[in-house]
Amino acid sequence: MKRKILYITEFFFCTSHLVAMAFLLFCLVTTVSAQPKQGMKVKGQVLDESGASLAGADVTLTESSGKSLQTISSEKGEFEFSSVSTGAYILKVSVLGFNSYESESFKVEKSVVAPLEKILMN
């Protein structure tokens, strides 16, 4: 009788460990697959006509679907958008005291960084 109880206990103990391990493995795989895929970067620099950097420019990156990302240029006039999906985009830049800038449509493809030309504000 003790031997049967021992076998049942061993079976339950081993089975519960296997179930727990399977559950943990499932959680790990689900968590890893749920992580967002790293997107591309779009970056550039905003300058005035003389070539001086413009800090504080409002920069908007709009996807063809209408979804947009916004940022502000740094002290060096630089801006960067991270985690950008592949697709067609338009870039808009506005700075107080300057005319607004709107780019032609451009594509972000599988390259990691999509550098833009220096954007001259007038």
User: Residue 42 burial (CB < 10 Å; 0-12/13-18/19+)?
Assistant: buried
What are the pLDDT tens digits along the chain (122 aa)?
Answer: 555 555 555 555 555 544 544 554 455 554 444 444 557 889 999 999 999 999 999 999 999 999 999 999 999 999 999 989 999 999 999 999 999 999 999 988 876 566 677 888 88
Question: Quick check: 38 and 50 in contact, CB under 8 A?
Answer: no
Superfamily of the domain at 40-121: Immunoglobulins (2.60.40.10)
Whole-prediction pTM: 0.66
